[in-house]
Structure 1
Amino acid sequence: MATPRYLTAHKISLLILVKIYCGSPLPASATIPVLSFIISHSIPSVSSTARARPCLENGETSFSVGAFEDALQGIASSMPGRTLLDLFLKHMWELSSFDTLHDLFDGMGHLVRERDDAAAEPLADRMYLSRTSPVGAFVRRARLEFIRLQFDDAMKLWSAFIRYRAPTAQWTKRLAGYALDGVDKIAGEMGLGPGDDLYEVAYGHLAVEEREGTISIDDFDRLLEFQLDQLQRLGSRVPDEMREQLRTMLGPSGVALRQSHLVKFFDAWKAGDYTSAFDNLHRYYDYAMQTREKIHYQYALLHMAILQADFGCFGEAIAAINETIATARENQDMTCLNFSLSWLNHMSKAYPRQMKGAGYMGMLGSERDGLTFLKAKAKETRMYNLLSATLLNEAKLCLASGESIPRALEYMYQASHLHIKESINNHGSQMLLLGSLFSRLGITHLSDVHCQLLLHCYEHSCPIDERIRSVCRCALSAAQYGRYDEALDLLQAIHATTHRSLKYHQYLFLCTGLVKLKRAVRRTDWTACESLLSFLKPDSSTDPEMCFMLSEARVEYLMARGLHSDAFSAIEALSTSLREEGVDILHRITILLAKAELFRRVGKPTMGFSVTLRAASVAFKARLMPCLWSATGLLASILSELGEYDAAARLLHAAIPQALEHNDNSLVGVLYSHIGDSYMGLAGLADTSAANGARLRAANVSRAELYINRAQESFKKVEDITGECEQLMKKAVIARLRGDEKLAEEWAQNHNRVWEAGLARLVDSETSG
């Protein structure tokens, strides 16, 4: 049997329920539940610009008779002691022959009031349906589709209905199996039963035939709409099992559905199969042109622009999005127009250098003007999803430009209120942005909490890319603390199906490589660093945040290895690139601090004084606390170099307690090392000729040794061999200054032992790798 066009067994059951609703007086409390059930299972969902589109739960388009039992069992009917389910089953089993099925559809026509009989006197015991109402439209289409059915297809629909209602035989005690005398009343009157040739031709297949025809072309179209919603909202791929089921259902249907090409396009796009993605998108576009459905033309262009940008062809993407905007304006499609402008604004912010290189000069003025325009349009058209995204973009702009933190929080809270009020599922973006804000404030614990909250509470409703970003941030936070194995375990624990998407696989590959590179740099494993850097080369389509972190890690590697000239060239190139793009203020301050650190490493800390002071000033105004603490450490180092040991110690005493909350052991180790140096400088200034000066010197040396011990512990946690050995050498120098040569020799031996243990660990890792 070919796939039915519209009518199925469950739609006949819905018609029976409509007949009961119109012909039998029901309690007032039953009206809303019954109507809600009918409409939710008969009217296809329509996308709304105001609210999130309701989807079929688990993608179900066809449901068993058990759904009617669950919905109607608890509703009382007009018959005393009987529920609405009893009444429904009574009407269902009254369809005792193929002839009564015809009578059902003929009788449904009298429930729909046409224009010419609108003035007729309605019957007191019957409710009529308007021909333009949702339920009336469903009844009219069902009758029309049944009239169009050929006899063979109508008989198969009747057979499918018999199999569909068979599980309810226990309620009526009229039918105990598939093929009994009670299947067809007419056959019983004619004396036909199992074993008779005519009976076997009509109903003999019921006991052995597998369930078929339970899904129609209309239901399949709704199933594809559900798949498209999942693909677009979550950014996932079609699972292998579902792909096989769709192929099996689509094969015998004999028709080419427009949505099937779009489903294949999204699946191929996420898999990185750009050739197949373009082919399926063109098929979708050809269908829209052949059927003259102009509404699909602009969305095909929109998807083409997004695909071109994902492929790195920004010139073609700009041309496609400009055509999309022009077409949307011509068709007065505000949803597509506003989304196109929002996407264009996002691309100009995320990839400014590539967009400028492709000839994009800006369409909405400045970024703030563009966001203001989009927010006004979203409020005007009640596109709450766009309004939520615009509010979060405004908060992100405040953070990127170093503006007021309270204002950014205000935008986030407005978006949060909108999510709750309008049931918008955009919690993932809000959680990630809040995590980023707390990370900038140096409160790493709250940042991790929001990432974990996203994973635990909104995992199944957030897009996959947001979940991946959350996991990667947790992994980088663990690596920052020194728990590299835990970070790698988090990344490896991501389900294997996620790697079926090329973009997500590349992002996870880069994040994993970044964690390994940071560990290799601190272990002084230069072979591993060179190998990792040869693979970690992002392209133009890589996430800008990840691209910057990889560039920063490369600069850190060059400075750690002593390649200062190459490090300076890399810093200058990155600084020029950032200056042209006008990116996040956090990235600019990080580059300034890297340059100041380079001057310190080459023995010229005073050359970086103005750079460090500028970075500290901007970081304080923008409340970028980790950058402020790093700048404070560099300033203290410069002041110690200039002999201002007391000022350096006071600076570090103010910064270290706050830096401890950031859980960055590398930064804490550096700060402790600097404060140890400042106390050693104060000890050198003490006048040992006086008793008070000798005591002061001994006290400063003891404090220096205390902080050096803490620095050593911090460097040990992050496996920083160079930093740990440096602190051991300082302790040996302190012991020698005290005249304890035996202790100094012991610290020197510890230094050698730690260094040799680090080298042995590298050999073991290379052997195991």
Structure 2
Amino acid sequence: MSKPRYLTASKISLLVLVQLYCDSDFPSSATVPVLSFVLSHTFPTTPSAARKSHTVEQHVAPLSIRTFEAILKNHTSSMPGRSLLDDFLKCLWEMNSMDALFDLFNDLGNLLGPPKEEPSQETKRMHLSPTSPLGALVRQARLEFTRLPFDDIVHLWCAFIAYRAPTAQWARRLSGMASSNVDIVAADLGLSKDDSLFEVTYGHLLEDDTSSTSLSHDDLERILEFQLDKLQRLGSRVPEEMKAPLRQLLESCDNVPRQAHLVLFFDAWKSGDYSSAFDNLHRYFDHAMQARERIHYQYALLHMAILQADFGCFAEAIAAINETVATARENQDIHCLNFSLNWLNHMSKAYPKQMKRAGYIGMLGSEKEGLAFLKAKARETRTYNLLSATLLNEAKLCLLSGDVASRAFELLYQSSHLSLKENIGNHGSHLLFQSALYSRLGNPSLSEVNCQLLLDCYQSACPLDERIRALGRRAFLVLQRCRYDEALCLLASTEQFMQRSLKFHQYVYLCTGLVKLRRAIRHKDWTACEALFSYLQPDSSTDPELTFLLSESRIDYLVARGLYSQAWEAVEELSITLKEEGADVMQRISLLLAKADICRRLGRPERGFSVALRAASVAFKAHLKTCLFTAVGLLANILNSNADYHAATRLLNAIIPQSLENGDVHVAGTLYSHMGDAYMGLAGVEDASNAAGLRLRAMRVSHAELYIDRARECFKKAEDVEGECEQLMKKAVIARLRGDEELAEEWAHDHNRVWDHGVERIASNSVETH
């Protein structure tokens, strides 16, 4: 048989419970739990991050009779020695014929509205207002029952018999599906379960699968709405345990609900099956046009624009979003209009080059003007989720443009306060931004704590994209401490919740490749570097941050190989691109530092000094501690090359303690190496003609050895073979200057051993790869 439109056996049981509530004296302790139970299964609330979310099984499985038992058995009835469960089951089993089912719906009509005459003292029935939630439930149930043809009423009655069958022990039934307690008409006729007439009427209950009638179209739409909420809010795919039940439910429908097309669209989209995603979205289009539901048409256009952008077709995405804006304005849908404009603002910032190439000029003017417009519209329409997101985007703009960090914190706290006050639940985006903010301020511990907080406390309420980004950020923070294996293990742990999503798989693949590439550059494994570069080729839709990190790693690779002309060309090309896009100030400072380092290596320290000084000034104003440490290290190195050792030691003494707090092992090793060079330079300028000068020179050489040893330990932790070998050569030179040839030979032997070990490691890695 076809799936019922609204009424099911569980709905009839809810109506019986409502009638029992109105006709009997409920204890005060049971009123709130029973009413909450009825309303939660009639008018489900919207899921929220602040409330405990329902599990998937609760929304898929129909409301069983055991659920009623769990709610009612712990509450006593007005009759001594009995519980509310006894009264409820008594009412169920008193419906002993299909005629009693008609009587139930006729009697429910008497519950609506106040009685016409004054109620007597003996009358204790409670009447329901037609506009109350319970009154709306009764009105809709009676209306749907009057619309049912007789054949569907018979099937509904049989489904109700099968539904209450598990409680047959209460009625002292013997065996089988029918007895005198099931149908009083059959008992009056003297029919038993072996009679042919009884077999024709009720015998099919032992064979038929009543699961097709356990859910109505209304229940199925609620299930699909729940799935859509999860898919849109969390950005995940349909769980494997839900696919088979959903497929069975949809196959049992004569008319597939419109939400089913969107559920299939999201699942195909996240899996990377773009052809199936387009097909399901077009079916949703067709449903919106045939049913003349224009509100669904504009949201279908919005999803089309997002899908086209994710596919890399930005021209088609702009055309679709323009149509969305026009349709939202025509239908006066402010929420869809504001969301579309916010998405346009996000895309123009995330992919400026692709959007400009696709012909997007800018609908909202500059980025600050666009954010101001969105804030005004969000306040005007009281769209608090949009207002919270706009405040957070404004904080990101302050951070990217190099504004003071206090302003970014202020906007972040405003957005967080609004999110908590209005129960928006976008905790993941706030924690990710706070993590990035603390990382720029040179506090990686707090940055990692925010990522861990997102993963431990808000994992179930955060989108899958934010969870994977939190793990990726943790991996890069661990990589900053040069713990490569731990970073790779963190990225490998994302497999448990990626749910075979192509986009997330590509993100994790790029992050893993960047970790391996950084390690190969430190190992001086050029074959592995070239192989990784050939695999790590981002497309137009790749995350811009990862694209920059890959470009930066290529510049480091060229510098490490001594290909300075190619490295300079790569820096200039990337600088022009970032200038056109109005990129992050941290990225621009990184390129300035790369230029200064190339100038220093090419023997032009004066030009390198001016570039490094400019980078240090901008980093200091923007509170970008990591860039500031690298810039100061370059300045100290250039000062050492110009024999200005006192200035170099003053700079390094001021910056090394903060650098150690930052946790970047390789930067700390570089600073220690520069400090050792500075002390060796100071030792060389001392006057060795007197005893005081000799003692001062010996002391400074000892300080130089101390810092060289610390630098060697840092480079060893970073697995930087060339840096470690350089420090060993410095130790050998110091030993030779002291006249200790045996110790110098020992340090030279250690240098050869470390280098040979690095070569062997490269060879073993290449054998494992092949």
TM-score per shorter chain, which class?
over 0.9
Counterpart code for 2:94: E
**Distance in 1 (alpha carbons) for counterparts of 2:45 and 2:204:** 36
- How far off is 1:607 after superposition? 1.5
| Residue equivalent to 1:145 | 144
- State the Cα deviation string for residues 392-429 of structure 1 (Å, max 9, x = none): 21221121111121222222222322333332221111
Aligned counterpart, 1:349: 349
Name the counterpart of 1:687: 687
Q: What residue is the counterpart of 1:629 in the other structure?
A: 629
Do the aligned partners of residues 46 and 437 (structure 1) sit closer, same or farther apart at CA in structure 2, a change above 3 Å counting?
Answer: closer
Where does residue 441 of structure 1 map in the other structure?
441
146-155 or 753-762: bigger deviation? 146-155
Aligned to 2:127: 128
Given that 1:97 and 1:184 are in contact with CA atoms closer than 8 Å, whether structure 2 keeps it comes out as yes
Match of 1:460 in 2: 460
One-letter code aligned to 2:266: F
Letter paired with 1:685: V
Q: Identify which range, 210-219 or 119-128, moves more after superposition.
A: 119-128
- What is the CA–CA distance in structure 1 between the aligned matches of 2:407 and 2:331, rounded to whole Å? 37
Q: Alpha-carbon deviation of 1:29?
A: 4.8
Q: Tell me, yes or no, if the aligned pair for 1:179 and 1:207 is still in contact at 8 Å.
A: no
Q: Which amino acid aligns with 2:157?
A: W
**2:284 is the alignment partner of 1:292:** no
- Determine helix, strand or coil for the equivalent of 1:130: coil
Give 1:20 deviation, angstroms: 1.9
Amino acid at match of 2:667: L
For 1:193 and 1:152, locate their aligned partners in 2 and report how far apart those are by CA, in whole Å.
23
3-state secondary structure, aligned to 1:42: coil
Q: Distance in 2 between matches of 1:54 and 1:317?
A: 37
Structure-2 residue corresponding to 1:491:
491
2:237/2:499 contact within 8 Å kept = no
Change (3 A) 1:678 1:171: farther
How far off its partner does 1:495 sit? 2.5
Deviation at 1:511, TM superposition (A): 0.5
For the aligned residues, what is the CA RMSD? 2.1
Does the CA contact (< 8 Å) of 2:93 and 2:181 recur in 1?
no
Distance in 2 between residues matched to 1:214 and 1:499, nearest whole Å: 30
Amino acid in the other structure paired with 1:43: F
Matched, 1:544 2:544: yes
Correspondence for 1:196: 195
1:338 aligns with 2:322: no
Q: Which residue of 2 aligns with 1:513?
A: 513
Deviations 1:219-261 (A, max 9, x none): 1111111111111111111133322221111112111211111
- What is the alpha-carbon distance in structure 2 between the residues aligned to residue 383 and residue 484 of structure 1? 44
Q: One-letter code of the match for 1:296?
A: H
SS in 1 for 2:142: helix
CA change 1:363–1:47 in 2 (3 A) is farther
Change (3 A) 1:254 1:608: same
Letter aligned with residue 518 of structure 2: K
CA–CA distance in structure 2, aligned partners of residues 726 and 85 of structure 1: 83
- After superposition, the C-alpha distances for 1:34-92 in whole angstroms (9 at most, x for unaligned) are 332222211255799xx999975426152212222233334444434544333222222
Question: What is the SS of the residue equivalent to 1:341?
Answer: helix
Alpha-carbon distance, 1:161 to partner? 1.6
| Stretch moving more, 167-176 or 538-547 | 167-176
Matches within 5 A, 1:178-577: 178-212=177-211, 213-495=213-495, 498=498, 500-577=500-577
| Distance in 2, Cα, partners of 1:286 & 1:207 | 41
Higher mean Cα deviation, 509-518 or 638-647?
638-647
> Take 1:508 and 1:693, find their aligned partners in 2: how far apart are those partners?
58
Match of 2:17 in 1: 17
* Counterpart Cα distance in 1 of 2:182 and 2:381: 55
- How many residues are matched? 764
Report if the CA contact (8 A) 1:175-1:182 is conserved. no
Give a deviation string over 1:75-131, Cα, whole Å, max 9, x none.
Answer: 444434544333222222221222211111121122223xxx997656762333333
Question: Is 1:157 aligned to residue 156 of structure 2?
Answer: yes
What residue number does 1:709 align with?
709
CA displacement 1:691-723 (0-9 Å, x = unmatched): 111111111111111111111111111111111
* CA contact 2:47–2:53 (8 Å) conserved in 1: no
**Structure 1 stretch displaced more, 202-211 or 465-474:** 202-211
Give the Cα–Cα distance (whole angstroms) in 1 for the partners of residues 445 and 561 of structure 2: 32
Counterpart for residue 669 of structure 1: 669
2:709–2:727 Cα contact (<8 Å) kept:
yes
Look up the match of 1:750. Answer: 750
Determine if contact 1:428/1:462 at 8 Å carries over to the other structure. Answer: yes
Aligned partners of 1:467, 1:536: CA distance in 2, in Å?
23
Per the alignment, do residues 119 and 408 of structure 1 end up closer, same or farther by CA in structure 2, a change over 3 Å counting? farther
Instruction: State the Cα distance separating 1:681 from its structure 2 match.
Output: 0.7
1:396–1:408 contact (8 Å) kept in structure 2: yes
Seen in structure 2, the aligned counterparts of structure 1 residues 624 and 265 have a Cα distance that, compared at 3 Å, is same
Question: Per the alignment, in what secondary structure is the counterpart of residue 328 of structure 2?
Answer: helix
1:175 offset after TM fit, Å?
7.0
Normalization by structure 1: what TM-score? Answer: 0.95
Residues 609-649 of structure 1: CA distance to partner in whole angstroms, max 9, x if unpaired? 11111111111111100001111101111111121111111
Q: For residues 261-318 of structure 1, what are the alpha-carbon distances to aligned partners after superposition, in whole Å with 9 as ceiling and x for unaligned?
A: 1111111111112122112111101110111111011101111111111111212211
Q: Output aligned runs, 1:632-651, within 5 Å.
A: 632-651=632-651
CA distance in 2, matches of 1:175, 1:454: 56
Structure 1, unpaired ranges of 5+: none
Q: Deviations over 1:513-539 (max 9, x none)?
A: 000100000001101100100111111
* Unmatched runs of 5 consecutive residues or more in structure 2: none
Amino acid corresponding to residue 722 of structure 1 in structure 2? E
How far 1:750 moved relative to its partner? 0.7
Secondary structure (helix, strand or coil) at the match of 2:325 reads helix
Task: Tell me how far apart the structure 1 counterparts of residues 168 and 654 of structure 2 sit (CA, whole Å).
Answer: 80
Q: Distance in 2 between matches of 1:600 and 1:537?
A: 30
Amino acid at match of 1:555: I
Mapping of residues 25-104 of structure 1, within 5 Å: 25-43=25-43, 45=45, 56-58=54-56, 60=59, 62-104=62-104
Do the aligned residues in 2 keep the contact of 1:499 with 1:505 (CA within 8 Å)?
Answer: no
Deviation at residue 141 of structure 1 after TM alignment: 2.0
**Counterparts of 1:65 and 1:655, CA distance in 2:** 70
Per-residue deviation, 1:664: 1.1
Equivalent position amino acid for 1:666 in 2: H
CA contact (8 A) 1:45 1:55 kept: no
Q: Determine the C-alpha separation between the residues in 2 that align with 1:263 and 1:579.
A: 41
- For 2:574 and 2:499, locate their aligned partners in 1 and report how far apart those are by CA, in whole Å: 30
Deviates more, 1:70-79 or 1:498-507: 70-79
Q: Which amino acid aligns with 1:166?
A: A
SS, match of residue 393 in structure 1: helix
> Is the Cα–Cα contact under 8 Å of residues 14 and 38 in structure 1 kept in the other structure?
yes
Distance 1:556 1:677, change over 3 A: same
Instruction: Give, in angstroms, the shift of residue 746 of structure 1.
Output: 0.8
Aligned partners of 1:89 and 1:307: how far apart in 2? 52
TM-score for the superposition, normalised by structure 2: 0.95
